[in-house]
Copies of this chain bind each other. A is one copy, B any other.
Amino acid sequence: MEVVEKGLNQLFMDPDPDKAREFFAKKSRSMTDKRMTEKEAVEKFVPNGCFLAIGGFGAIRIPTAFIHEILRARRKNLGFYGHTSTHDFQLLCAGRCIDRVDIAYVVGLEARGLSPNARRVMESGEVQVCEWTNYALTARLRAAAEGVSFGIIRSMLGTDTLKMSGARVIECPYTGKKFAAVPAVWPDVGIIHVHEADIYGNCHIRGISVSDLELARAAKHVIITAERLVDNAAIRINPTRTVIPYYLVDAVIEVPFGSYPGNMPYLYYSDEEHLSRWLQAEKDPEEFKRFLDQYIYGVASFEEYLERCGGLAKMRELQRLEALVDR
């Protein structure tokens, strides 16, 4: 198939659907209890050097607790799928965990500004980069979820974003029109925070799904952190609500307030005060080191982190904010 134009950057993952099929052929389909701790799941599914994708939207419905554990486990040379990432990317940069990134959105925290530390990391030239757009990264996961090697979109065309990507411009076999072909990506591990899951991994999500349905189907290993566990009967009574079926899932971890300081739709709002303390602390590397020791490396568990951030009182406050009781 004739390629009209080719992005200059290399792909971090192989888009061959048959290699993915070989992997999924061996993946268990049995409904078994998949509960484990963050520690066990990092140990088992997040080796140094693996390629990581995180669900949610940067500071909304993110698996904060699990990312903290990746930092405490001192993981290095991870690849990262930088779609709509904000605080999640900020965390991985804080731990210096990554050495290559597919970029649609990184470094920034939307209206909150840019992360000084993430900028230092990205401007150091030590991290391998490849440019994309938010939709392109969703489309790459979707292609993988469909079990094919590429998908076509009408974004990126004519820009340096395409030039510095791994995309290829092709012509439609019916209309001759140009499209950007984006390669399927099967991340080694996808980590998704949800509202409810059963012990097998069947999941409910309330509110926007962002790209998580595609990610759950593309990732070779899927780790679910859930606000609460529910009985399997709660899944089966309304199968229309299931958005991630258990056979995609490798680990289930119950983590109340697991998206803090991010927003968890319908449950609690983001802690903007804590997030701006992050940006503040990052300005001075020395102070930032102390900050990280205080909040991540110096704590044994996520519960302890929550305590240091204000504990139950703070959580209650964020719940009221989310419920629009306090504005």
Contacts and interface: CB of A to CB of B under 8 A. Distances in A.
Given A207-B240, A240-B206, A3 B154 contact: no
A263 to B, nearest CB: 15
Given A1-B1, A206-B240, A240-B206, A172 B152 contact: no
A173 B170 contact: yes
Given A2-B1, A206-B240, A173 B148 contact: no
Of the four ranges (under 10, 10 to 19, 20 to 34, 35 or more), the interface on chain A belongs to 20 to 34
Number of identical monomers bound together in the oligomeric complex: 2
Interface string A166-187: 0010111111010101010000
Interface of A is mostly: loop
A153 interface: yes
Nearest to A147: B154
A111 to B, nearest CB: 23
Contacts of A239: 207
A16 B175 contact: yes
5 contacts: A1-B170, A11-B174, A17-B154, A146-B153, A150-B172
Given A1-B171, A149-B174, 5 more contacts: A1-B1, A2-B2, A3-B173, A147-B154, A173-B181
